[in-house]
Amino acid sequence: MTIETRTSIVWDYAPAPESADHIRLKDRYGLFVDGEFRDPRDGRYVSTINPATEEPIAEVADGGPDDVTAAVESARAAYPKWAALKDLERAKYLFRIARLIQERSRELAVVETMDGGKPLRESRDVDIPLAAAHFFHYAGWSDKLRYGVNAPEVEPLGVVGQIVPWNFPLLMAAWKLAPALACGNVAILKPAETTPLTALLLAEICQEAELPPGVVTILPGDGSTGAALVRAPGIDKVAFTGSTAVGRDIQAALAGTNTRLTLELGGKSANIVFEDAALDQAVEGIVNGIFFNQGHVCCAGSRLLIQESVRDEVIAKLWQRMGRLRLGDPMDKNTDVGAINSAEQLERIETLVAAGEDEGATRRTVSCDIPERGYWFAPTLFTDVSPAHRIAVDEIFGPVVSVLTFRTQAEAIEKANNSRYGLAAGIWTDKGSKAFEVASALKAGVVWQNTYNHFDPTAAFGGYKESGFGREGGPAGLRPYLKIVR
Ligand code: NAD
């Protein structure tokens, strides 16, 4: 085992920090219940901190069991009117929310970056525009639900409990809320404990859009709030995005009940590079696949499968490209790799990386200036990885890629499918027929060809195996929120 490090930032950029002067955050945010912000019943507030500076940003309510009960009561009261609203009227609210997200996009991008640590370039160009696009997309479906699911008569399910993780806070909220509301359901959304702020700004947007009280509830809190929400009487459906371990717990809790469930869980996705691929493009795709959002991406291309004949060339190009990634202040518009979301997540990454070294893989970590405060992990590449190593099996959820090799197409498929997960995959080849053949043999919900981490509200997203079940996005994303009457 050797550790090589290098720094190859070949030119310096002047700092280009985005200003936070224009945002208007309150010191304290309560729970958004019945169309207004309220104090939690037991009065508990916790600070949400900026992971790039470790400074507190605001205090946020920590929802307890009584708050869950109040949220469900308010949602149940709002449901009949919302479900009975004319389709086009429901659509108007969704269009309004989409436009308000666009109007407040600069503010939302800055707050997303401060609360979660992701580079501003990503929150500005990916998270916020895609969140608006999801509301626009499902606004358009509101009066076409029957066509979307190909059934003559459909009904909403009722009150939906939705739980999201911290890696794409506003975007995941939009993935959940937009289809649920379009289908005539009312929703209670629990944001993740480390990133509640943009969901609370979305609550303000719901007020500005004059959404009827109780149609959207935002219930900040930790895992125990989520666990109480899942088990609350009066919840008709649960939609969860997060870790496989928690997904399993929720599935066990709901077994034998009438509550419907969809799960979007973890992944260990294979990014497969064939020898006939355009290798420079593939390297850009590998970088985007694993270093986008510090690798805090459920579908990250964390298992890189390279055909043996081009292994050395791809690794050399990749290593050179990695050395040019800029790690640092997420508010700087030139930053490529921001802060790790929390101290706990940093510890998880460090534990798995140490396991990789202990098990005999070769680690290379880019050497760069690490800010003194905050949580950081420099881009890391593992070679000499065997399929049984933990770094080839477990989700690291950080900027760490594990390289495996293959000789034939059949071996590539076998290795890619050798995972308990099945969320996504990438295929890099110049041959269309090969791409389609491989894609149809892969057990993965999304397969990208000559691109990676490409998201669109019209396309379905979801997993196989331990990556979960149910789809979000496109017409397929309507199905989990509708009862097919006939
Ligand atoms: P996590 O499961 O710990 O937390 C996710 C959410 O669930 C948070 O809001 C948390 O408060 C809540 N929660 C925790 N314990 C709970 C419980 N017992 N009952 C109900 N809710 C509970 O996951 P995380 O570490 O915050 O997020 C990272 C995980 O999310 C990764 O595994 C990643 O792959 C996955 N993820 C999946 C997708 C997808 O679409 N498949 C998208 C993003 C993230």
Annotated active-site residue in 18, 193, 206, 298 = 298
Take atom 43 of ligand 1 and give the residue whose Cα is closest. 298
344 burial via Cβ count (<10 Å: 0-12, 13-18, 19+): exposed
Angle between helices 197-208 and 87-103 (to 10 degrees): 120
Take atom 26 of ligand 1 and give the residue whose Cα is closest. 165
Does pLDDT of 1 surpass 50? Answer: no
How far apart (Å, rounded) are the C-alpha atoms in residues 438 and 424?
Answer: 13
Give percent of the chain with pLDDT exceeding 90.
96
Residues contacting 224, CB < 8 A, separation 6+: none
Q: What is the mean pLDDT of residues 390-406?
A: 98
pLDDT for res 13:
82
Take atom 13 of ligand 1 and give the residue whose Cα is closest. 223
Angle between helices 169-182 and 87-103 (to 10 degrees): 160
Q: 34-46: per-residue pLDDT in tens?
A: 999 999 999 999 9
Q: How far is the CA of 192 from the centre of ligand 1 (A)?
A: 8
Whether residue 95 contacts residue 118, with contact meaning beta carbons closer than 8 Å, is answered with no
Does pLDDT of 436 surpass 60? Answer: yes
Q: How far is the CA of 243 from the centre of ligand 1 (A)?
A: 4
Q: To the nearest 5 percent, what fractions of the chain are helix, strand and coil? A: 40, 20, 40
Position in ligand 1 atom list of the atom nearest CA 461: 40
Position in ligand 1 atom list of the atom nearest CA 467: 41
Question: Which pTM was predicted?
Answer: 0.96
Position in ligand 1 atom list of the atom nearest CA 190: 9
Q: What is the mean pLDDT of residues 310-331?
A: 96
CA 451 to chain centre: 18
CA 293 to chain centre: 9
Q: 245-261: per-residue pLDDT in tens?
A: 999 999 999 999 999 99
Q: What domains can you pick out in the chain, each with its CATH number? A: 28-265+467-484 (3.40.605.10), 270-462 (3.40.309.10)
Q: Does residue 313 have an active-site annotation?
A: no
pLDDT for res 5:
52
Q: What is the mean pLDDT of residues 12-22?
A: 90
Beta bridge partners of 36: 33
36-60: burial string, b at 16+ Cβ within 10 Å, e else: ebeebbeeeeeebbbbbbeeebbbb
Q: 129-142: per-residue pLDDT in tens?
A: 999 999 999 999 99
Take atom 8 of ligand 1 and give the residue whose Cα is closest. 192
Can you say whether residue 87 is alpha, beta or left, with left for phi > 0 and alpha for psi between -120 and 50 degrees? alpha
Q: Give the tokens for residue 383.
A: 């070679």
Position in ligand 1 atom list of the atom nearest CA 163: 9
Q: How confident is the model at residue 12 (pLDDT cuts 50, 70, 90)?
A: confident
pLDDT for res 2:
47
Q: Does residue 298 have an active-site annotation?
A: yes
Q: How far is the CA of 395 from the centre of ligand 1 (A)?
A: 13
Position in ligand 1 atom list of the atom nearest CA 175: 40
Nearest one of 289, 379, 398 to 340, comparing CA atoms: 398
Q: 447-468: per-residue pLDDT in tens?
A: 999 999 999 999 999 999 999 9
Whether residue 157 contacts residue 482, with contact meaning beta carbons closer than 8 Å, is answered with yes
Q: How far is the CA of 476 from the centre of ligand 1 (A)?
A: 22
The binding-site residues of ligand 1, defined as CB within 6 angstroms of any ligand atom, are 163-167, 190, 192-193, 222-223, 226-227, 230, 241-243, 246, 249-250, 264-267, 298, 395, 397, 423, 463, 468
Q: 272-295: per-residue pLDDT in tens?
A: 999 999 999 999 999 999 999 999
Q: What is the mean pLDDT of residues 9-19?
A: 82
